[in-house]
């Protein structure tokens, strides 16, 4: 039995005129801001994908879904997550669990956490209790605190039986 751990980090800018999608859920920012990016800019799912890829030293999501490739424009990040999990499974690995923390001042994420966990787990072929999603503010410090962006840190543990 072998174990591997990976970590992932991502940040996207908060801008006007974009939807705010986190963990596959469309949320409402009090100022109507959303995350900028080539795909749907789901920073939570992006950090989880990088943690999964990192665990197997497979590079990062930019390698598989390059932002200059028009086919990923507006892409549903949960679909990209399914593809990353397929890469992991193809290599004979199972996901034990993932855990993530989203850093955002607003909106309040707590009411949406369980829906995010269920959506992510569903696409990964996991149970919701294998997907940890937490939220914290940045105490108004730094880019997240000034609401210039939302970031996410994630870890993933993989097992090869
Ligand atoms: Mg990203």
Distance 129 CA to ligand 1 centre (A): 24
Instruction: Tell me what pLDDT residue 141 has.
Output: 98
Instruction: Tell me what pLDDT residue 68 has.
Output: 87
Distance 42 CA to ligand 1 centre (A): 7
Instruction: Tell me what pLDDT residue 67 has.
Output: 86
In total, how many domains does the chain have?
Answer: 1
142-151 core/surface letters (b: 16 or more CB in 10 A; e: else): eebeebebbb
Distance 161 CA to ligand 1 centre (A): 31
Distance 59 CA to ligand 1 centre (A): 14
Distance CA 129, CA 112 (A): 15
The domain in which residue 96 lies consists of 2-160
If you count DSSP H runs as helices and E runs as strands, how many of each does the chain have, helices first? Answer: 5, 7
Q: What is the CATH number of the domain that holds 74?
A: 3.30.1330.50
Q: Which residues of the chain have pLDDT under 50?
A: none
Distance 10 CA to ligand 1 centre (A): 5
Distance 128 CA to ligand 1 centre (A): 23
Distance 23 CA to ligand 1 centre (A): 12
Collapsed DSSP state (helix, strand, coil) of residue 134: strand
Q: Which long-range contacts (CB under 8 A, 24 or more apart) does 108-113 make?
A: 109/22, 109/27, 109/135, 110/135, 112/22, 112/23, 112/25, 112/27, 113/23
Instruction: Tell me what pLDDT residue 105 has.
Output: 98
Distance 140 CA to ligand 1 centre (A): 22
Tokens of 52: 């999964």
């Amino acid at each position: 039995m072998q174990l591997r751990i990976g970590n992932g980090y991502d940040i996207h800018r908060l801008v006007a005129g974009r939807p705010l999608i986190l963990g596959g859920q469309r949320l409402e920012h009090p100022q109507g801001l959303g995350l900028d990016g080539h795909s749907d800019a789901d920073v939570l799912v992006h950090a989880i994908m990088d943690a999964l890829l990192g665990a197997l030293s497979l590079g990062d999501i930019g390698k598989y879904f390059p932002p200059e490739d028009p086919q990923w424009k507006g892409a549903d990040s949960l679909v990209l997550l399914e593809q990353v999990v397929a890469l992991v499974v193809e290599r004979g690995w199972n996901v034990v669990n993932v855990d993530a923390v989203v850093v955002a001042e607003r909106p309040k994420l707590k009411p949406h956490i369980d829906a995010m966990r269920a959506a992510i787990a569903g696409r990964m072929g996991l149970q919701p209790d294998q997907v940890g999603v937490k939220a914290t503010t940045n105490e108004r410090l730094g880019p997240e605190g000034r609401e210039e962006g939302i970031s996410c840190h994630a870890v993933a543990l993989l097992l090869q039986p």
